[in-house]
């Protein structure tokens, strides 16, 4: 049977979509770089002993040390970042009262994302026809970003206690959709955390490859390959 007929047949059964966020709906690299620069500028103005004490290499070393010390929290980026801020504060001669306001500065910039142009119109279409659940290892705030109305629910690594590709985070998402795994399509950009993880949990998979990457040979191929959410919408409409 030709591949496009196979894809249409499996997509015809889809009733819910689990959707990755970072690098699927927006480019996260520039966002994190800007958030870190914004935080550093704020710290430099309000806590000048910090830039006197730390350079870029010092911060990398400190972050690695924090991760090593809190491996049980490796799935919780918010917790780890706050622990880094706590260490930075104390080693620069301040107390940890700066942690919360500093994190708020970072978090505001981290959620100042620019959606890919295909996202809004096609998410609106999909929301009206499928149960949409965000599944993310990050700490994006859908309400702050302004797209929470396009999701029926969200599952984070903090909620599940583990990060993708571990199966429990997908199991939580499956429960939130209210349908069985084979009727769910997981859409994400990462071959391991998204596609491998979702397949292992019994979901159908769509790899969104916006940057023309080669599929790694170590992993089974996804059910569908797309470059935009618009392509996904078209495939689901044709299958429907």
CATH number at residue 8: 3.40.50.1000
- Residues 100, 58: one domain? yes
Distance between CA atoms of residues 134 and 22, nearest Å: 11
**Residue after which a domain boundary falls, among 110, 144, 170:** 110
Judge contact between 20 and 189, C-beta under 8 A: yes
Closest CA to 222 of 188, 174, 175: 188
Q: Tell whether 84 and 195 lie within a shared domain.
A: no
Within 10 Å of residue 206's Cβ, how many Cβ atoms? 29
Tell me what pLDDT residue 223 has: 95
Pair 91, 124 in one domain: no
Residue 24, helix vs strand vs coil: coil
CB contact at 8 A, 170 and 201: yes
CATH of the domain at 106: 1.20.120.1600
Q: Give the domain range for residue 185.
A: 3-26+115-239
**pLDDT for the residue numbered 7:** 66
Question: Is the same domain home to 17 and 36?
Answer: no
Looking at the structure, do residues 227 and 127 belong to the same domain, yes or no? yes
Of 110, 128, 163, which marks where a domain is finished?
110
How many domains is the chain built from?
Answer: 2
Check if the beta carbon of residue 186 is closer than 8 Å to that of residue 198.
yes
Same-domain status, 40 and 20? no
Residues 136 and 226 in one domain: yes
CA distance 146 to 36: 22
pLDDT, residue 1, reads: 30
- Residue 202: which of 13, 24, 23, 46 has the closest Cα? 13
Q: Which of 110, 136, 154 is the last residue of a domain?
A: 110
Per-residue pLDDT of the chain (240 residues; tens, 9 = 90+): 334 445 667 899 999 999 999 999 999 999 999 999 999 999 999 999 999 999 878 888 989 999 999 999 999 999 999 999 999 999 999 999 999 999 999 999 999 999 999 999 999 999 999 999 999 999 999 999 999 999 999 999 999 999 999 999 999 999 999 999 999 999 999 999 999 999 999 999 999 999 999 999 999 999 999 999 999 999 999 987
Distance CA(70)–CA(53), nearest Å, equals 23
The candidate with the shortest Cα–Cα distance to 18, out of 202, 237, 210, is: 202
- Whole-number pLDDT of residue 13: 94
Q: Tell me how far CA of residue 192 lies from CA of 41, 46, 73, 100, 224, in angstroms.
A: 35, 40, 20, 33, 15
Strands 131-136 and 224-226 come out as unpaired
């Amino acid at each position: 049977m030709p591949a496009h007929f196979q894809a249409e047949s499996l997509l015809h059964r889809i009733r819910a979509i689990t959707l990755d966020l970072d690098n699927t709906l927006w480019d996260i690299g520039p966002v994190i770089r800007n958030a870190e620069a914004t935080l550093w500028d704020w710290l430099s103005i309000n806590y000048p002993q910090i830039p006197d004490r730390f350079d870029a290499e010092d911060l990398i070393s400190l972050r690695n040390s924090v991760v090593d010390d809190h491996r049980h929290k490796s799935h919780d980026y918010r917790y780890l970042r706050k622990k880094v801020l706590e260490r930075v504060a104390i080693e620069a001669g301040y107390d940890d009262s700066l942690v919360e306001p500093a994190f708020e500065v970072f978090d505001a910039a981290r959620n100042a994302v620019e959606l890919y142009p295909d996202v809004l119109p096609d998410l609106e279409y999909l929301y009206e026809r499928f149960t949409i659940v965000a599944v993310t290892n990050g700490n994006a705030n859908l309400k702050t970003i302004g797209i929470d109305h396009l999701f029926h629910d969200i599952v984070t690594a903090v909620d599940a206690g583990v990060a993708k590709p571990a199966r429990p985070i997908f199991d939580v998402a499956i429960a939130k959709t209210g349908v069985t795994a084979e009727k769910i399509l997981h859409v994400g950009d990462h071959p391991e955390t998204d596609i491998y993880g979702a397949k292992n949990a019994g979901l159908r998979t769509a790899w969104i490859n916006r940057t023309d990457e080669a599929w790694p040979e170590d992993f089974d191929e996804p059910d569908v390959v797309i470059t935009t959410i618009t392509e996904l919408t078209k495939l689901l409409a044709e299958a429907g």
